[in-house]
Amino acid sequence: MERKKARAAEEGAPSICDDALTEVFRRLPARALAACRLVCKSWMSVLTDPHFVHEHLGRGPQKLLLFANDRVNDRSLAMVLADDGRSMYQLSRPAASRSAFVHNSCNGLLCLGDSTGAVEVLNLTTGESLALPMPICTAGSSQFSSCNWHCLGFCPGTREHKVVHFYPGAQIDSFKVRCEIYTIGDGAWRQIGAFHGAPADRGVHVNGTVYYLTKFRYIASSRINSLNLQSEKFDVMRLPPRKSYGGHCSLTELQGKLCLLVVDGALEGPPRTMDILMLNTDDKQGWTPRYHFSLPWLVSSCYFTPKHTLFHDGKIWVQLLARNLYCFDPSSNSEELTIAWPELDFPFSTHTFIESIVPLRKDYYIKQIQ
């Protein structure tokens, strides 16, 4: 009997040890776990387990990422704005060309592109990168293109990351858009057909769905097209009823929900305001006015919707032009934007970011250990 108890205790010891180790891993930041993966194969096995990776991702605080190409010094910068709002630190440099730009960020992964149409997915925290095969259509690819763009998204049902590529068809038709998808872990793009309603602006990923505005956003027939990443099917919804859509409108993601940005005001000068309407997640039909604030007048081209509008640290962060970052505090009594960061010496783009250990290739860390 005593031998059986001793043997049972010995057999149970490793599992208890593993549970304790896993609990320690849960409390470590992603950057520390990235180094722990290279210690041994057993640690690597725990830290690449999909359940653990997904659970740890939910614990990570959301931060603000500034990505820039400093062409004078020939470098690409990925800087994270710290929570105190007044300091930045540089992460590992992306292995990308000088013309690289960020399509979007999802679960700590950056979807990078360049003027050649090439696409690369990069995990800034672990340094792992994955160059995707060249898409079908590369003509017209740029940081601001609305007819040829990519969007990285995550499918909660299958826990797969997918890159969606929207591009114009072979025949000149301004009312049609073609789409192909690349699932991280597969080896090729898959065409999923065409859909009526060419994008008027670059899309946004929210909870497993990619949304974009059609080219008819200025009239009553304006629509929002959507692509469900799990079913890979298109759907459509109308813009919310409104007296006027003013000068411009655009889509963004705030607090995990789809939001519509509407800029009103005269081109000649202030006051110009921006309303943020949030889509109800229950029925995906109703829109709730959430925020309202004034936009500073910089130059006439700033009449259009700000390039990036993000929610971070309880505040609304708005990027105007290419080098200006402003902030709006909903808890304050003021409806004015305040300067959040001094103007940088080079253009940048702003994205929400979570440091994560999401792997891009199954054999990546095995090769690193060997």
In a 13 Å sphere around the CA of 42, the CA atoms on its Cβ side amount to 7
Q: For residue range 72-90, what is the model confidence (pLDDT) as tens digits?
A: 666 667 777 765 555 566 6
Chain centroid, CA 179 distance in Å:
19
Summarize pLDDT for 176-200 with one digit per residue, the tens: 788 999 999 888 899 998 887 777 7
**Kind plus residue range of the DSSP H or E element containing 113:** strand 109-113
Helices within the chain (DSSP H only): 2-27, 30-36, 41-47, 50-59, 364-369
Helix (H, G, I), strand (E, B) or coil at 367: helix
Q: Which pLDDT band holds residue 230 (cuts at 50, 70, 90)?
A: very high
**Tens-digit pLDDT profile for residues 121-146:** 998 888 888 999 988 777 656 555 66
User: So what's the pLDDT on residue 165?
Assistant: 93
Res 255 pLDDT > 60: yes
- Which residues, other chains included, contact 12 with Cβ-Cβ below 8 Å and sequence gap of 6+? none
